[in-house]
């Protein structure tokens, strides 16, 4: 399909999808809902319009910066959501989309005309006539806009579509050359990664079934029950998935339960458990014998966890829809042989899968997460028996959420907990004994691991 076939109706669908994408997560569901209603899904236009939609979210930080410059506001979030969505679409098409930027003048003029007529009318109908008029006036300025990066980080923001907040932090850890490798990796499509449920199937059975389905699977390099393959793959129609024989999980995440090393008949607390991938894996390693107490505060994610556990045949999990900081009162203190704290985090190590994180992560959020992680890790220490182990993990790249939290805990609980050194299969973290998985080095999500042993009671 050529961009020459874009119609006013296509632009309207894009604006509606972008607006809904702010309200409905995941954003691909918003795109799917709108494109279905416009008859785009499955049509010859689907691929290109989908690419434009995802490009908007990949670039949204740069786009919103241009919106602020053109409108004079300090934060694009204060604008009417219809206007914000329309401006995002207009800027993507006229400033960034190379096929339009480099095309004949008549194509750009056509897009400008469609934006002014169809989208201005949409804004007037949905909000107020003045909003449509305001957008009309801005379209010409958008068409004339040119980006001029001021320094290396701004050039990298433009090239790799990652925010300054993330780039500057990674630079401090990896240096210039390796940061470029990581940023390139963030812009590659990762393979699909699933873990085999050994209670219901075997790796050989899954490999054979996937091959019959036309998939070319490979066993993971670091976890031998993980299978990777190129997408797309329809999980809704997959018997392996429906029967609980495979679980969608990245290899770095799958390693967490193995590092925790739960045993049959132990008591385990999974502190932030939903949607349950690690909970299910812990139960597998326990051979579905013992007790797992799983806590989470998100009702929708808990539902997904219940569905997963049922599908996979797991029966030893007791779920609590509670803030896990209440767990010592609910369960009692020093009751767990093993505690997993896969902590809420900025998820900065998952950018290749979650494009909206490229611009959503802010300085304030990083420190908010670090404060919460510290509080949760203190709770984990209260839950663990003397001699018990606590695994702290995040899918963040940032020192503030990883090594800084560990340092603080080791200082405050000196003599109470100690680090159990980790060195394989990934790389040593910035504190000896901790471990990090890196997307560009290991072909996984970015992941951090710190394993503690509780030496004595508080």
CATH number at residue 228: 3.30.70.1170
The CATH number for 56's domain is: 1.10.940.10
**Residue 85 exposure: Cα atoms within 13 Å on the Cβ side:** 24
- Rounded-to-integer distance, Cα 204 and Cα 193, Å: 16
pLDDT at 58: 87
Q: Are residues 102 and 201 in the same domain?
A: no
Q: Are residues 237 and 262 in the same domain?
A: no
pLDDT at 44: 86
Q: Are residues 294 and 168 in the same domain?
A: no
Q: Are residues 297 and 323 in the same domain?
A: yes
Catalytic positions: 395
Q: Are residues 140 and 287 in the same domain?
A: no
Positive or negative torsion for Cα 170, 175, 179, 181: negative
pLDDT at 2: 43
Q: Which of 210, 225, 248 is the last residue of a domain?
A: 248
- Rounded-to-integer distance, Cα 88 and Cα 14, Å: 10
pLDDT at 126: 95
Domain extent, residue 175, equals 152-186
Residues of the chain scoring pLDDT < 70: 1-4, 98-105
Q: Are residues 180 and 241 in the same domain?
A: no
Q: Which of 233, 248, 263 is the last residue of a domain?
A: 248
Q: Are residues 449 and 398 in the same domain?
A: yes
Q: Are residues 96 and 42 in the same domain?
A: yes
Q: Are residues 177 and 118 in the same domain?
A: no
pLDDT at 108: 82
pLDDT at 29: 85
Spell out the residues 6+ positions from residue 421 whose beta carbon is closer than 8 angstroms to its own. 432, 433
The domain total for the chain is 4
pLDDT at 3: 47
Q: Are residues 292 and 435 in the same domain?
A: yes
Q: Are residues 265 and 243 in the same domain?
A: no
Q: Are residues 41 and 99 in the same domain?
A: yes
The CATH number for 259's domain is: 3.40.50.150
């Amino acid at each position: 399909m050529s961009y020459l076939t874009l119609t006013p109706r296509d632009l309207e669908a894009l604006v509606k999808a972008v607006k809904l994408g702010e309200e409905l997560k995941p954003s691909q569901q918003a795109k799917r809902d709108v494109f279905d209603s416009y008859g785009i899904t499955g049509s010859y236009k689907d691929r290109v319009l989908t690419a434009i939609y995802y490009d908007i979210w990949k670039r949204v930080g740069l786009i919103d910066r241009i919106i602020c410059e053109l409108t004079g506001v300090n934060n694009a979030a204060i604008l009417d959501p219809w206007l914000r969505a329309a401006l995002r679409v207009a800027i993507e098409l006229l400033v960034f989309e190379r096929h339009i930027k480099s095309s004949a003048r008549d194509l750009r003029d056509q897009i400008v005309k469609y934006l002014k007529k169809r989208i201005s009318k949409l804004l007037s109908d949905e909000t107020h006539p003045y909003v449509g008029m305001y957008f009309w006036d801005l379209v010409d300025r958008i068409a004339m806009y040119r980006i001029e990066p001021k320094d290396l980080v701004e050039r990298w923001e433009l090239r790799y579509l990652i925010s300054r907040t993330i780039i500057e932090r990674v630079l401090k850890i990896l240096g210039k050359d390796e940061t470029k490798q990581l940023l390139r990796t963030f812009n590659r499509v990762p393979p699909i990664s699933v873990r085999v449920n050994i209670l219901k199937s075997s790796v050989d059975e899954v490999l054979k079934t996937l091959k019959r389905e036309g998939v070319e699977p490979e066993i993971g390099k670091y976890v031998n029950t993980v299978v990777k393959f190129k997408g797309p793959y329809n999980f809704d129609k997959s018997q392996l998935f429906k029967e609980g024989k495979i679980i969608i999980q990245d290899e770095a995440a799958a390693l967490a339960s193995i590092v925790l090393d739960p045993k049959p008949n132990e008591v385990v607390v999974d502190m932030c458990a939903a949607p349950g991938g690690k909970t299910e894996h812990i139960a597998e390693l326990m051979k579905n014998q013992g007790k797992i107490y799983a806590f989470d505060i998100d009702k929708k994610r808990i539902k997904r966890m219940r569905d997963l556990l049922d599908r996979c045949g797991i029966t030893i999990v007791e779920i609590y829809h509670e803030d896990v900081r209440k767990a010592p009162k609910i369960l009692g203190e020093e009751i767990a042989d093993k505690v997993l704290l896969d902590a809420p985090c900025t998820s900065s190590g998952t950018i290749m899968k979650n494009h909206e994180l490229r611009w959503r992560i802010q300085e304030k959020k990083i420190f908010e997460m670090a404060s919460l992680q510290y509080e949760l890790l203190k709770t984990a220490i209260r839950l663990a028996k003397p001699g018990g182990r606590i695994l702290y993990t995040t899918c963040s790249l940032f020192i503030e959420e990883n090594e800084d939290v560990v340092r603080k805990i080791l200082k405050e609980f000196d003599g109470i907990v100690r680090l159990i050194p980790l060195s394989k299969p990934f790389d040593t973290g910035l504190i000896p004994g901790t471990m990090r998985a890196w997307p560009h080095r290991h072909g996984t999500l970015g992941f951090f691991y710190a394993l503690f042993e509780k030496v004595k009671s508080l």
